[in-house]
Amino acid sequence: MDCRVLWVGTALLSVAAASEAQPIRRLTGHDGPVYALAFSADGRSLASAGLDHTLKVWDADSGRLRRTLRGHDDRVASLAWSPDGRRLASAGVDYSVRVWDVASGKATLVLRTRETCVFAVAFTPDGRRLATCGESGAVEVWDLRAGRRENRWAVGDQALYALAVTPDGRRAAVAGLDRRIRLVELETGKTLQTLEGHRGHVYGLSFSPDGKVLASGSADRTLRLWDTTAGKETAILTGHEDAIYQVGFSGDGRRLVSAGTDGQVIVWDAATGAELLTHRFPSRPLCAGLSPDGRQVGAGTSDALCYLLELPRHVR
């Protein structure tokens, strides 16, 4: 597959062919589509969740199932690891956000939200707070030590599907049904920037490790990069043939991964926008993530499977 990139304000001088990858692990155990997937910060664990109401924690090297976490009463739409890797946060359509102690498999906090459906959840970098958003178009911030809601503010009047917190913990990016991406101040809820350009719902957001670049994936089939200082779109990456559900940076910020309902997971060069690798699944990948060391891609699919892909050395 050829690299397909439209740059905004600059030219891409070379076009590179993307490599193929093969699954090295096929993880079975879910009983329905897998909607959320994430690597722990040390890259040793992979968590997945979905329609069967459960979270599963896997050994990222062997693919062995370590633990199944049960407690949600409906679909789990989002999950996130705490920075220290000891806790998992999960959110779904059962009006709840749960914080789990991974070692014991117990939910240490059950937070009842004002949302009918919670679509996204993220820890702050210090692990003390949790940000969530969902169907009402509001962002909620939770104090995890006190186990209570710290703040809530309306960002818009349409559903928010995606949320990401900056590495310094001061801002969050949120987006969803109205196609706009808003950068908001976590302490006050003040909208600092509004980024416009997508022509479809926005389903995925991710900040680079230095917080200077925001990646967004949309139903318009594009992956877009934004300069968070200037508040400007810097690139539009094309290659997916259908909606992009999840995007994520590698730990060093050099690579991006995107998962789309066209059956593809694509790995990109974050600096040039070159399409480095593609893998097409027989069913729809609904979520994907790069391991922090950039060595593996994890993916969850509509046929209840998770996969681990080993990246070729030149792609890492």
| Domain coverage including residue 86 | 5-315
For residue 298, what are the CA distances in angstroms to 34, 55, 111? Answer: 12, 15, 28
pLDDT means over runs of 10, the chain (316 residues): 33 38 80 95 96 96 95 94 97 91 96 86 96 94 94 90 96 97 94 96 96 97 96 96 94 92 92 92 87 90 93 80
pLDDT at position 39 is 96
> For position 23, what pLDDT does the model report?
58
CATH code, domain carrying 267: 2.130.10.10
| Pairing relationship of beta strands 19-20 and 275-280 according to DSSP bridges | parallel
pLDDT of amino acid 81: 97
How many structural domains does the chain have?
A: 1
Amino acid in position 133: C
- In order, the DSSP letters of the chain are -B--EEESSS------BPEE--EEEEE---SS-EEEEEE-TTSSEEEEEETTS-EEEEETTT--EEEEE---SS-EEEEEE-TTSSEEEEEETTSEEEEEETTTTEEEEEEE-S-SSEEEEEE-TTSSEEEEEETTSEEEEEETTTTEEEEEEE--SS-EEEEEE-TTSSEEEEEETTS-EEEEETTT--EEEEE---SS-EEEEEE-TTSSEEEEEETTSEEEEEETTTTEEEEEEE--SS-EEEEEE-TTSSEEEEEETTSEEEEEETTT--EEEEEE-SS-EEEEEE-TTSSEEEEEETTS-EEEEEPPGGG-
**3-state secondary structure string across 278-308:** EEECCCCEEEEEECCCCCEEEEEECCCCEEE
pTM: 0.90
**Amino acid letter, 5:** V
